[in-house]
Amino acid sequence: MAVTDEPMDRILFEVISAFATCGLSVGLSEELPPTGKYVLTALMFAGRIGPISFASALALRNRDQLFRYPDERPIIG
């Protein structure tokens, strides 16, 4: 809202659409100055990376290993 004087509903729709990376627009993105376009671009990047990083962090939790690797060295040659 600091970048443009548009109504809040149009700005909110653009921001949510950018974060969700769904591609919807009310035409505000083409009317924004470069600063506003950079903000929308950063939101698109955060929306794309954020949920993926969160899902991978949940999937890569530490688990107790129920097995043990052998300690011996194989004889080669």
Q: Where are the domains of the chain?
A: 8-59
Does the predicted TM-score (pTM) go above 0.75? no
Confidence of residue 64 (pLDDT cuts 50, 70, 90): confident
Q: Is the pLDDT of residue 27 over 90?
A: no
Q: Would you list the DSSP string of the chain? A: --S----HHHHHHHHHHHHHT-----SHHHHS-HHHHHHHHHHHHHHHHHHHHHHHHHHT-----S-----PPPP--
